[in-house]
Chains A and B, each alone.
Chain A
Amino acid sequence: MSKEKKLNMQLHSPMPTFDLAVITLGHGSGGLLTNKLLDTGVFDLLSNPILEERHDGAFLDLQGKTAFSTDSFLVSPIFFPGGNIGELAVNGTVNDLAMCGAVPKYLSLSFIIEEGLKMDEFWKILVAIKFSCEQAGVQVVTGDTKVVEKGKGDKIFINTTGIGAVHPKANIAANNIRAGDRIIISGQIAAHGMAIMSVREGLEFDSEIQSDTTSLNHTILDLIEKFGSDIHLLTDPTRGGVATVLKETAQSIHKGIAIFQKDIPIDDQVGSACELLGLDPLYVANEGLFVAFVAAEVAETVLFELQKDTNGLHARIMGTVTGAHPGQVYLESAIGGKRVVSMLPGEQLPRIC
């Protein structure tokens, strides 16, 4: 869905009149205020037959192999270049299901709101949720709203849990990975983390960097439809970035991974911002990327197909799986040197100089 369409949706979802301009503890009481908030807000915007049953839980018809995933979303600030926490909450769980080779179907949606959140901010988040659900083709079928006292949260936390039907041709498992498999990265790395960093208090810098948050399910399922079990593993490099998922994978498959710095796509502005703050982009978070381990013989074709998709324009083959150095990830630097890529002990912190 284009940016224009997104803007259109915001324009055509004007905020209804609420009694109060901010969320209060009463909105989480389960009483009248809660009901009004849900009636004029959540239910209207996200309406679908299952949600409208308004039962304690949702009734779902599920058949076949099912994927199930949950995630909680906290981000500061909640609005950032390229999106807000609402889009993250939908796309994050949708993408986790897609990484299982599943067609995402249903979501639960729970808010923990800090009292004082402005109603118009909450509304913008809801609109973003609606937009992302439509883009991904999922329905919110159950949910919850709680409000905590001022100072006991950070504006809003969202949890989403999702259920999806695994595609019959999908066979995604780390065990499928063979030495010689190629590793495809679907786009330019580190955009989300640096977009957040650019608006974080105390570290602000001027840039046009936008978060890459988007749902990847259509892109992924298209690949699975075409290449089936030749796609051995899919994983999304969110927290901890590309380096962390590669290291985790290398450890779980007891094989080595070799990647090439020259083949890791990164936007110029994002790369410069990382240099400026002394951050390694390999560890910076992404929200609209995936890493695919695919059979060597189909790798070039997968790449060719992926590059036709808007989510894969900058896709590259960035490395291979090897029988050597099990559990280790090696990177060949731009000048041809080799080094190990390991996990970070904690959050990456900007350097002094």
Chain B
Amino acid sequence: MKYLSEYRDPELAREYLEEIKNTVSRPWSIMEVCGGQTHSLVKNGIIEMLPKAITMVHGPGCPVCVTPLKLIDKAVHLALEKQVILCSFGDMLRVPGSQKSLLEAKAEGADIRILYSPLEAVKIAEDHPNRQVVFFAVGFETTAPANALSVLHAHRKGLTNYSILASHVLVPPAIKAVIDDDESRIDGFLAAGHVCTIMGNAEYHPLSATYKVPIVVTGFEPLDVLQGILMVVRQLEQSKSEVENQYARIVREEGNVEAQKVIHEVFEVQNQTWRGIGEIPESGYAVRPKYAMHDATKKFEVAIEEAPENPKCISGLIMKGIKKPFQCSQFGKKCTPAFPLGAPMVSSEGACAAYYHFSGMVEA
């Protein structure tokens, strides 16, 4: 398969693994920041294939997992109480809110639609001029351009019935927060390739230089991840701390400048709450006041109290890489993908769900 099978070649994978084994001389902890990489690691059985000296730590890069509880409650409220057509990416639907998930709201009769592109939501707004249409705009920098573009499209078309409920999170501040956490011990990072496709690598150089950590911008196919790990290990073994680009077939140093322009036109940086982690300064996007009419948080008066997280869920420790899913007393017992206590068990990119599905640790 073009651009896929090439990156799943077993012979090359063996060579990379051999090279990693030959390079490692002491234990290292490497965090893959992005949930897509976590998914790839477990789905392809890579973790078990790596030398014991390498510990992969699963970072906070699953947008579904870090979307604040309050925002999910807000989406549920908009769909059920304000009778909006609520459009969302598929994997947000199962995430538990404090009372219910969007999937449950849908079962109660709310008009909730799964879309692949926010531009589809604009079309729905066009087709239903008498209904309010809200797109649940979740994601990292990767999905921000399309979400921003939907606002621009709606604005140009004069659609007053289209808005987005934005919950955008940014990767570099999260990496900084992880390094700054006293409990975390991460030696090197695999940065998220698709985020850098949009944003470029510039933001990572100061991080790498200040904290003396290697950061390798890495893709998602098995060979990408293996090569990324090898590049981090080589730097660590040589006491280097640079930004390297493993995903050079996609990522340019400056990123996608046009996409960045669209993002900055619509969004401004704000402090952002990450579910399970807390507030991280300047780590999210808010819709600029200029586009307030397309900002669901401004458009709809929704007074939703901050709901407490389930106290038994240790998702914050999981997402900062301090604990592994199987070190949680609830994992696979009270907390399963069918009945998740916290968000990392919901999305297949969440560390807990990935472990549950693919590692068989809890199965009979």
* A and B found bound together: yes
Interface residues of A (CB under 8 A from B): 201-203, 205, 262, 268, 271-272, 275, 277-278, 280, 327-328, 330, 332-340, 342, 344-346, 349-353
9 closest A-B pairs by beta carbon, nearest first, are A337-B45, A340-B360, A349-B90, A335-B13, A350-B90, A345-B338, A345-B337, A334-B8, A202-B115
Interface centre among A201, A337, A338 (most CB of B within 10 A): A337
Bound complex: CA A336 to CA B140 (Å): 31
Contacts A350-B114, A351-B349 known; A338 to B48 CB distance under 8 Å?
yes
Query: Taking CB as reference atom, which chain A residue is nearest B143?
Result: A353
Given the contacts A202-B113, A327-B363, A350-B116, A333 and B337 also touching, CB distance less than 8 Å: no
**C-alpha spacing A330/B138, complex, angstroms:** 33
Q: Please give 19 more A-B residue pairs, beta carbons under 8 A apart, in addition to A262-B10, A338-B45, A352-B89.
A: A202-B87, A202-B120, A272-B1, A278-B91, A280-B348, A332-B45, A333-B8, A334-B5, A335-B13, A335-B223, A336-B13, A336-B45, A337-B44, A337-B45, A340-B363, A346-B338, A349-B114, A351-B89, A352-B138
Residues of chain A with a CB closer than 8 A to B9's CB: 334-335
A124 to B222, CA, bound (A): 46
Show 18 residue pairs from A and B whose CB-CB distance is below 8 angstroms, ordered by the A residue: A202-B87, A202-B116, A203-B116, A272-B1, A278-B348, A332-B45, A334-B10, A334-B222, A335-B13, A337-B44, A337-B45, A337-B49, A340-B363, A342-B358, A344-B337, A345-B94, A345-B336, A350-B114
| A277, A278, A351, most chain B CB atoms within 10 A | A351
The reply to whether the CB of B329 lies closer than 8 angstroms to some CB of chain A is no
Contact B46 A335 (CB under 8 A): yes
Residue with the greatest number of chain B CB neighbours at <10 A, chosen from A202, A272, A338: A202
Please indicate the chain A residues that have their CB under 8 angstroms from the CB of B347 in the complex. Answer: 351
Cα of A344 to Cα of B64 in the assembled complex, Å? 18
B 4-28 binary contact with A (CB < 8 Å = 1; else 0): 1100111001100000000000000
Q: Is B321 an interface residue (CB 8 A)?
A: no
Nearest B residue (CB) for A349: B90
Please, what's the 1-or-0 string for B337-360, where 1 marks a CB less than 8 Å from any CB in chain A? Answer: 110000000011100000011111
Chain A positions within 8 Å of B360 at CB level:
328, 330, 339-340, 342
The residue on B at minimum CB distance from A331 is B45
Partner of A351, one of B5, B90, B103, B359: B90
Give Cα A352–Cα B116 distance, bound, in whole angstroms: 8
* A345 CB to nearest B CB, Å: 4
Given contacts A350-B89, A350-B116, A353-B194, A271 and B1 within 8 Å (CB-CB): yes
CA distance A345 to B4 in the complex (A): 28
Q: Does the CB pair B44–A333 fall under 8 Å?
A: yes
Q: How many residues of B contact A (CB 8 A)?
A: 55
**A340, B359: Cβ atoms under 8 Å?**
yes
A203-B115, A339-B45 in contact; A349/B140 too (CB < 8 A)?
no
Distance between B362 CB and nearest chain A CB, rounded to angstroms: 9
The interface residues of chain A lying within 8 Å CB-to-CB of B90 are 277, 349-352
For residue A330, which residues in chain B have a CB less than 8 angstroms away from its CB?
360
- Please indicate the chain B residues that have their CB under 8 angstroms from the CB of A202 in the complex: 87, 113-116, 120, 124
In the complex, whether B93 has a CB less than 8 A from a CB of chain A is yes
State whether B44 touches A335 (Cβ < 8 A): yes
Given known contacts A277-B116, A337-B44, A352 and B94 CB-to-CB distance under 8 angstroms? no
Which residues 44-76 of B have a CB within 8 angstroms of A? 44-46, 48-49, 63-64
- A189–B142 alpha-carbon span in the complex (Å): 30
A342-B1 contact in complex given A201-B113, A203-B114, A353-B36, C-beta closer than 8 Å: no
Complex partner residue of B348 from A272, A336, A340, A351, CB under 8 angstroms:
A351
Q: Which of B49, B93, B223 contacts A336 (CB 8 A)?
A: B49
A353 touches B140 (CB 8 A): yes
B139 touches A353 (CB 8 A): yes
Instruction: Tell me if B364 counts as interface (CB < 8 A to partner A).
Output: yes
